[in-house]
């Protein structure tokens, strides 16, 4: 374990690869294609009426949970396959990690209008709206889970990798018995965060306006947003009460049992004296039906799966290495990349013609908006770090405190900040700079949980024997933080900060431009410009603002967060 230093030697910044440029050009092409499809969408789209009756809440809650569950399953499968491919294959990593940087940098709320209109041009309205809602929730869940799983795979202790190589584990057995269990705790806490973050975007996913087109889906998010727009405080309280009850139910019957189950995957020599407990997990562990399911179905299926997959890739038993140097691509891969590059160049050329028609004054507004939003994002991230690190460590290392605060944190994190934002806005509009303060507060409420849950996961995974060693050595609190806690948390903090900063940029779209009570409140920012372009159907401005935002976030990830990721991978590995 390395001692943590607040100014560690930064590795050399990797140059922008050709793949980064190709990915951005391809994104420009996709945006141009969406803009062209949007022109062919129906001129008027009207969704169903949203009932504010309490009797509609159970059905709306079920619909919303169904969309969330579908998006989460897609996110989990995406994270496992994508993270594994990026961590285990040098050639794949050279393409997939820059692509992941771009994907998590895309402000989906600005991309959603083109996705929605493009889908409605080729699919029925209702199906297109459902698919777009699942895609939006997916993009709010997948990236932090993928980063967490990738970070876990790249920080597996070398002695465990060498043991797997000595016992000649096949890739499947190594994944099943070493890599997935090692990543389980971080993946679980990021799953909890992803589920909580999905509620944040649910209101935007279930009600969305593009000009005169009203995309609306029945659900808990649309219920809360409709109640807020009508200033119906009773309906807002009933909706939030239903959401809280739903969150508590999921915590007790899903997340708490999984927390108790994954505790056995800690890498430690000494068992914890206060493992996490779950009454529902205790009931399930004594269930006769589950025992029969395991004996008759899951056990035989697991054995059949092992027999089928154990021989795959058995000749590639070496441990994954850091992707350095040049990566050689086969001839078919080069031809495919060349074809994609030509397509990207054509789409970029057509998109450039659209961008050149934008007046210079609009570009100046975009520059000012970008600078203003960057300051808000930075401030919200700093404020989040100041409180999430100590609180996350307290929850992750103190089981008694965790039993009290964990469900509270999950409930608070899952309440959509957009549902409370109108109330916060009304209280702040009367003071100078109130809208700026409200925008920072909304960014903070929407992104601080990415940091908190990653810190909890990192603190929970610190072996108990290392804590006992610091007690035996009589280290002070400051020395214990410097030599154990901060080094162990560093990879998790970086993972949480990357997704939190991306979420803050995304949240700027709903934080800087608000329609409430028949009035519009806006402040200077790139998010406000995107929201205005979306509402007015100004697709050229929407395209320009989205591209500027994506390129900015990709550049920050490349020149800042990527360097810290290398430090986490090279210096602060748990071994």
pLDDT tens readout for residues 348-396: 777 788 788 888 888 899 999 999 999 999 999 999 999 999 988 888 8
Count CB neighbours of 443 within 10 A.
31
Is 124 domain-assigned? yes
Does residue 270 surpass a pLDDT of 60? no
Average pLDDT of the residues in 22-31 = 68
Res. 13 pLDDT band, cuts 50 70 90: very low
Q: Is residue 80 part of a domain?
A: yes
Give a yes or no: residue 446 inside a domain: yes
Burial classification of residue 337, based on how many CB atoms lie within 10 Å of its CB (0-12 exposed, 13-18 middle, 19 or more buried): middle
Specify the pLDDT at position 509: 79
For residue 399, pLDDT beyond 80: no
Please determine, for residue 122, whether its predicted confidence score (pLDDT) is greater than 90: no
Average pLDDT over residues 82-92: 82
- What is the domain range of residue 244? 18-268+277-302+333-571
Burial state string for 21-37 with b = 16 or more CB within 10 A and e = fewer than 16: ebbbbbbbbbbbbbbbb
Percent with pLDDT over 70 in the chain: 75
pLDDT given for residue 59 in this prediction: 92
Among the residue ranges 227-241, 309-323, 454-468, 511-525, the one predicted with the least confidence is 309-323
Tens digits of residue pLDDT in 483-530: 888 888 888 888 888 878 877 887 787 778 776 656 677 788 888 888
Q: Are 111 and 540 contacting, i.e. CB atoms less than 8 angstroms apart?
A: no
Residue 506: predicted pLDDT: 77
pLDDT for 429: 66
Q: Is residue 54 part of a domain?
A: yes
- State CA 46 to chain mean position distance: 31
Residue 2 lies in a domain: no
Q: Measured between alpha carbons, how far is residue 365 from residues 109, 234, 309, 359 in Å?
A: 20, 40, 56, 10
Pairing of strands 213-216, 207-210: antiparallel
Domain count, the chain: 1
Q: Within a domain: residue 311?
A: no
Confidence of residue 414 (pLDDT cuts 50, 70, 90): low
- Are 84 and 519 a contacting pair, CB within 8 Å? no
In the block, tokens 């189950």 appear at 261
> DSSP string covering 79-144, please?
HHHHHHHHHH-HHHHHHHHHHHHHHHHS-HHHHHHHHHHHHHHHS-HHHHHHHHHHHHHHHHHHHH
pLDDT for residue 157: 81
Within a domain: residue 410? yes
Q: How many CA atoms lie within 13 A of 490 on its CB side?
A: 29
Contact (CB, 8 A) for 101 and 235? no
Q: How far is residue 55's CA from residue 472's CA, in Å, rounded to a whole number?
A: 59
Confidence at residue 74, expressed as pLDDT on a 0 to 100 scale: 93
Q: Which residues of 498-517 are buried (b: 16+ CB within 10 A; e: fewer)?
A: bbbbbbbbbbbbbbbbbebe
In a domain, 5, yes or no: no
pLDDT above 80: residue 35: no
Mean pLDDT for the stretch of residues 263-275: 67
- Backbone phi and psi for residue 513, each to the nearest 5 degrees, phi listed first: -145, 110
Q: What is the pLDDT of residue 382?
A: 92
* CA 428 and chain centroid, separation: 29
């Amino acid at each position: 374990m390395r001692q943590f230093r607040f100014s560690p030697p930064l590795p050399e910044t990797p140059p922008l690869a050709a793949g980064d440029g190709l990915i951005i050009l391809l994104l420009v092409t996709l945006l141009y294609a969406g803009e062209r499809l949007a022109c062919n969408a129906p001129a008027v789209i009207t969704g169903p009426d949203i009932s504010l009756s309490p009797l509609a809440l159970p059905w709306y809650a079920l619909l919303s949970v169904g969309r969330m569950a579908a998006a989460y399953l897609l996110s989990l499968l995406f994270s496992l396959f994508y993270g594994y491919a990026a961590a285990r294959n040098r050639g794949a990593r050279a393409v997939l990690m820059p692509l992941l940087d771009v994907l998590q940098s895309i402000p989906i709320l600005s991309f959603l209008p083109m996705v929605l209109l493009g889908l409605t041009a080729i699919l029925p309205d209702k199906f297109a709206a459902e698919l777009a809602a699942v895609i939006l929730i997916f993009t709010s869940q997948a990236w932090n889970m993928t980063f967490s799983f990738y970070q876990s795979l790249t920080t597996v202790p070398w002695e465990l990798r060498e043991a797997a190589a000595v016992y000649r584990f096949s890739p499947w057995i190594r994944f099943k018995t070493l890599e997935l269990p090692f990543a389980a705790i971080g993946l679980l806490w990021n799953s909890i965060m992803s589920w909580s973050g999905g509620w944040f975007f649910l209101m935007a996913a279930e009600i969305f306006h593009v000009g005169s087109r009203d995309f609306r889906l029945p659900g808990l998010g649309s219920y809360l947003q409709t109640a807020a727009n009508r200033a119906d405080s009773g309906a807002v309280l009933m909706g939030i009460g239903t959401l809280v009850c739903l969150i508590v139910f999921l915590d007790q019957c899903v997340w708490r049992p999984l927390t108790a189950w994954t505790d056995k995957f800690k890498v430690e020599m000494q068992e914890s004296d206060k493992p996490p407990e779950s009454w529902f997990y205790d009931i399930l562990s004594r269930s006769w039906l589950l025992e029969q399911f395991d004996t008759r179905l899951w056990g035989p299926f697991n054995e059949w799966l092992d027999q089928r997959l154990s021989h795959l890739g058995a000749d590639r038993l070496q441990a994954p290495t850091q992707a350095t140097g040049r990566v050689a691509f086969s001839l078919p891969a080069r031809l495919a990349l060349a074809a994609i590059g030509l397509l990207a160049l054509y789409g970029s050329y057509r998109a450039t013609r659209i961008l050149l028609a934008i007046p210079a004054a609009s570009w100046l507004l975009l520059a000012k908006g970008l600078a203003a939003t960057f300051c808000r994002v930075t401030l919200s991230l700093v404020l989040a770090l100041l409180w999430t690190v100590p609180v996350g460590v307290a929850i992750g290392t103190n089981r008694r405190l965790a039993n009290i605060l964990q469900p509270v944190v999950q409930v608070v994190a899952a309440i959509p900040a957009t549902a409370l934002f109108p109330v916060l806005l009304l209280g702040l509009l009367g003071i100078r700079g109130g809208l700026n303060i409200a925008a920072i507060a909304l960014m903070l409420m929407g992104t601080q949980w990415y940091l908190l849950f990653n810190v909890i996961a990192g603190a929970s995974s610190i072996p108990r024997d290392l804590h006992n060693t610091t007690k035996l050595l009589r280290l002070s609190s400051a020395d214990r933080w410097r030599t154990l806690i901060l080094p162990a948390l560093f990879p998790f903090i970086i993972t949480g900060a990357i997704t939190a900063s991306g979420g803050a940029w995304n949240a700027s779209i709903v934080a800087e431009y608000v329609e409430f009570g028949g009035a519009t409140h806006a402040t200077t920012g790139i998010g406000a410009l995107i929201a205005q372009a979306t509402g007015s159907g100004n697709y050229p401005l929407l395209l320009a603002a989205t591209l500027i935002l994506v390129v900015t976030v990709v550049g920050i990830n490349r020149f800042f967060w990527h360097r810290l990721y290398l430090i986490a991978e090279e210096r602060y590995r748990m071994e």
